[in-house]
Amino acid sequence: MIKVGVLELQGNFSMHHKILQNIGIKSVAVKKSSQLIGIDGLVIPGGESTTMSLLIQTFNMYESLVDFGQSHPVLGTCAGLILMSKTTDDKRIKPLGLVDIHIQRNAYGRQIESRTEKIKFNFSNQYQLVLPATIIRAPIIKEMNRNLKVIGIYDNRPVAILSGHHLCLSFHPELNGINIFHRVLFDKECKVYYKNINEHYVA
């Protein structure tokens, strides 16, 4: 059975556990580097990215997370996307540099301006879905490597991108019970197939 960790330093991690368990994937808490051993992938949830970055450094997890991400799939939502980026506009954050993107934090407005939008996602030429996407103080992808695959666009900006075995989302699929993004990255039975994701995870 595939086993996926959920980073539990801060943020909305409990609903990611629920999503993973609902699709038959064993999920475990990751609060220290040793808990990365033996898992097949990782979710970095939404939350407060500055706090999460500080805690990653405080608990000496930075290098372990970078090393893990070199060879394992990582899904980042909202703050998780910020942490996975190469650079951000906030010097308090030390990003992991897993994905070649530049991020602007809180670019979609304050908490009171949170909203849910219907967005079309192009998983492949044969598989497209319109899904609700909940945007809460979401980051904007200001710049990105042209070789990355854009899966979803909102307000003329990418909000879902695939980079090798990493998937980054500006929004919170777990709040709407959306599991396709977790399945695409972690469920080997999922029929949505990306050529640049290891077939162990998507078939």
The b/e string for 120-153 (b: 16+ C-beta within 10 A; e otherwise) is ebebeeeeeeebebbbbbbbbbeebeeebbebbe
Residue 69 CB contacts under 8 Å (≥ 6 apart), including other chains:
42, 84, 96, 98, 166
Among 89, 88, 86, which residue's Cα sits nearest to residue 99?
86
Active site residues: 78, 172, 174
Q: How far is CA 85 from the centre of its chain?
A: 10
Which of 9, 14, 20 has the alpha carbon at shortest distance from 50? 9
